[in-house]
Structure 1
Amino acid sequence: MKSLKISLSIAFWTFSILFLFSCSGNHKPDKDGYYSEEKFVDSLNVGRKGKTKVEFEKFRHGKNGDVFVTLNVYDLKEIWVETKGSMFHTWELKNSFRFIKDGITGLDVQISDFNNDGFNDMTYQSGIAGRGGNVIMTLFLYKPENKDFIHIRNSENYPNLSFNSKLNCINSVILTGSTTTAFLKIKKDSLDEFARVDVSDKIVVEEKDSTGKFKIIEEKLFKGNDDDFYKIFRNYKPLEY
C-alpha cells in the first residue's frame, strides 16, 4: 500500500512538472474571437534560474485563423508583508511582447545560452520556410543587469540558429539551392553577419571587410558527399565542420 502511494505521488508530480512547462491552451474564445491554443511556462531554466519566469502563449482567431504569440517575462521579487511579519516572494512583471505568428507550427520553445554569459536565453519557432528545412526562430537574450530579455529584432532573417562555441558566435544555416552557413555576432538588439560559407558545386567563403562589404577569401570545388553538403561549418578560416 505504501509503495502504491509513493507511485501515485511520483505520477502526480511528474504530471505537474510537465504541465508547468508546456500545455494546451483554453479553447474558449475571448471577446475578440481569439482562443488560447498553446502555452509554455518555465521558471527553472531561463535567465536567473529559479528567479526568472517566462510565459509564452499562442492565440488563434476562431473564424479567420489569424495567430499571434505573447510573451510575459517575470522576475522573482521579495516583499515584506507587515501584517505577516515576514518576507514573501512574488513574480514581478518585467516585460511583455506580442508577435504575429504563422498558423502551422507550434511554439517549440528552445532554451540555450546563445552568448556564452552563463545565463540561458530562448527562442520560439515563429515560422518555417524552404520546404520545411528552414526553421524560423525568434531569439531573446537575457540581460542579467536588467533582469529582463531583449528581443533580437532581425533573428527571423537567419533560420536554424545555434551557438558556435569555437568562435563564440551564432551560426545560421540557410537552405536554398545551396547550403549557406552564416557567422553572426550580437550587436545591441541585432545579429550582425561577419562571414559566410556557401556550398553548391563549389565552396565560396566570404568575410566582411572594414568597409562593411563582403569579400571572397577562398573558393574551391566541393568534393564532399550528400551529408557534407548539409553540414554546419564551425570555422571559416580555415574551413572546419
Structure 2
Amino acid sequence: MDSTYVEIKFSEKKNDNWFQKQKIELPKDGVVSCDPKIIDFTNDKLNDFTFKSSVAARGANEIRTLLIFEKITGKLKLITNSDNYPNLQYNEVLNCIDSWMVYGGSSTVFLTIDQDSLKEFAGVALFENYREIYLVDKKGKHKTLKKEKIKDLEVYTRFKNFNPLIENAIN
C-alpha cells in the first residue's frame, strides 16, 4: 500500500496452454507510465524487455529497467544497475549497449553486460566547451584518450563510436 512497483508475469506456451515461468516485482516511481518495450539489447536475435522505472533531469533522462532473456534458462534476467544508465539503446556499431546521460552537458557511455550488471568500457563526455574521449579499465578507472577544448561545442550530442568518433544521427 505504501510503495509503487511493477509486477512482471513471464509465461510460456506449451501444448496450447500458457504456464507462468516467472513472476518479478520491482520498484518504480509513481510518476511515469511503464511504457514496456521489447527490443534485442544483446544481438542474439532474442527479445529483451525494458520498462520505464523513473525519470530524471526534468524528463531528458529516461530511466528504464532492463531484463535480458536468457535462452539457456528460458527466463528473464534482471540487469541490476540498468536504472543507473539513462536513455539505453543497443549500439550496432560496437555491438554493445550505450547510454546517453544529459546534465549541464552530456555523456555517451558504452557498456557491456557482465553477469547481471552493465559495465562501462568507454565514453565521450561533453561539458563546459570540452570534449573528452576516455576508456575505462576493469577496475573502473578512467583513462583519457583525448581531451580538447571546442568552441561552440554542441553539448547535447550522442555518439555511436568513440574511436573514430562518430555522432549518432538520432538522439
TM score, norm. by length of structure 2: 0.91
In the alignment, structure 1 residue 72 sits paired with structure 2 residue 9? yes
Mapped to 2, the partners of 1:107 and 1:216 lie a distance apart of: 37
In the alignment, the residues of structure 2 paired with residue 141 and residue 157 of structure 1 have an alpha-carbon distance, to the nearest angstrom, of 16
Look up the match of 1:179.
106
Cα distance in structure 2, aligned partners of 1:172 and 1:111: 17
In 2: Cα distance, 1:192 partner to 1:98 partner? 24
Q: TM-score, normalised by structure 1?
A: 0.66
User: Are positions 1:124 and 2:51 aligned together?
Assistant: yes
Task: Give percent identity, aligned residues only.
Answer: 36
Matching residue of 1:152: 79
2:143 counterpart residue number: 215
SS in 2 for 1:207: strand
Q: Which runs of 5+ in 1 are unaligned?
A: 1-60, 79-88
**How far apart are 1:210 and its partner, in Å?**
5.2
Higher radius of gyration, 1 or 2:
1
Distance 2:147 2:157 in 1: 17
By how many angstroms is 1:212 displaced? Answer: 3.9
Number of matched residues? Answer: 166
Higher strand fraction (1 or 2)? 2
Q: Return the letter of the residue paired with 1:221.
A: K
Greater helix fraction, Structure 1 or Structure 2:
1
Against the structure 1 CA distance between its residues 126 and 211, is the aligned structure 2 distance closer, same or farther, given a 3 Å change threshold? closer
CA deviation vs aligned residue, 1:176-211 (integer Å, no higher than 9, x gap): 111011100011111000111100211011102355
* Paired residue type of 2:133: V
Give the distance between the partners of 1:161 and 1:202, measured in 2 at CA.
24
Distance 1:74 1:185 in 2: 27
Structure 1 match to 2:117: 190
- Name the CA distance, whole Å, in 2 between partners of 1:210 and 1:124: 29
Shift of 1:155: 0.1
In structure 2, distance between residues paired with 1:154 and 1:94: 23
Cα distance between partner residues in 2 of 1:128 and 1:118: 29
Instruction: Tell me if structure 2 keeps the 8 A contact 1:199–1:222.
Output: no
The residue number in structure 1 matching 2:70 is 143
Q: 1:164 aligns with which of 91, 97, 112?
A: 91
**Relative contact order: is structure 1 or structure 2 higher (C-alpha 8 Å, sep ≥ 6)?**
2
Given candidates 157, 163, 166, the residue that maps to 1:237 is: 163
Q: What RMSD, in angstroms, separates the aligned Cα atoms of the two structures?
A: 1.5
Distance 1:172 1:148 in 2: 24
State the distance in 2 between where 1:118 and 1:91 align. 23
Q: Which runs of 5+ in 2 are unaligned?
A: none
What is the SS of the residue equivalent to 1:156? helix
Report the residue type matching 2:69 in the other structure.
Y
Amino acid at match of 1:238: P
